Amino acid sequence: MNYSFLNNKLHNSNPSIVANALFLIALLLVGKADPMAIVFAYVFETIIIGLVHVVKLFYIIKNNKPMKRESKVGNFLLIPFFMIHYGIFVAIQSIFLYTAFAINDERFSTSLSFSNFVEILHLEGFKLVTLSILATHVASFYFSFLKVKKYNQQHLGAYMVKPYLRIFLQQFLAIIPFFFLFFMNAVGIVAAILLILMRTLLDYYFSLIAKDAEKIKALAIRIMDQKKPEELPKIEATLKVFFEE
């Protein structure tokens, strides 16, 4: 067996991804987290991702010179634009997911009343799960972005749309527990663990692609206009931004 290949893959991945997944699964197995707490915590994570991304945008704009036909002030104004657009995007998806789960879960009503949000906060393990996810993102922000000064020489346009692909796929994965809820009338431990594993594999795969220059280049070649080969480096840089943390 080629252990060097396996070790290389593990080395290139973010260990916090696996650590957080194991922690969440452990909470489920020892009964310290309601399966629905995992589902709603992942939905809430989209807000955490957005807030962290706003800070990243601030650092990128602050530490990079504006491109042609751009200005610092204009670029900073893109931050509230992103917050509004991203907020609407997340709100629509979150409301849809919440309503879908509330239909078959007697603990929640399909209305968007404040009492329902309080009920979510009181789910067993919700706060702990959310804090663990928050800690993972804060650690990733510090070690993978701030400490290594990744904000230098970054393309603002690519970073503006960076979270959307990951958020869309993450919300799509919510179909897994919804399937269990619809057909079995409950989101059990198995459904929650499947959600965690699928989400972890997605993050793991993205992190590997981001660090694989050959895969990035191959994908960029497939995407680019063959009549404009000069755009290849820009597309590669954009794809790397999409897939990295």
Write out pLDDT tens, residues 99-145: 777 776 677 776 667 777 888 889 999 999 999 999 999 998 999 89
- What confidence score (pLDDT) does residue 137 get? 92
Lowest mean pLDDT among 28-42, 127-141, 224-238: 224-238
- 185 φ/ψ sector (left φ>0, alpha ψ -120 to 50, else beta): left
pLDDT of 97 above 50: yes
pLDDT in tens, 188-224: 788 888 889 988 888 888 888 888 888 888 888 888 8
Pair of tokens at residue 47: 């807000």
Give the pLDDT band of residue 173 (cuts 50, 70, 90).
Answer: confident
For the chain, give every domain's residue range: 11-211, 212-245
Any idea what the Cα angle at residue 140 is, between residues 57 and 146, rounded to 5°? 50
Q: What is the arithmetic mean of pLDDT over 65-74? A: 79
- What confidence score (pLDDT) does residue 185 get? 55
CA pair distance 112, 103, nearest whole angstrom = 12
Are 156 and 61 within 8 A, CB to CB?
yes
CA pair distance 50, 87, nearest whole angstrom = 8
CA pair distance 226, 238, nearest whole angstrom = 17
Q: What is the arithmetic mean of pLDDT over 5-11? A: 46
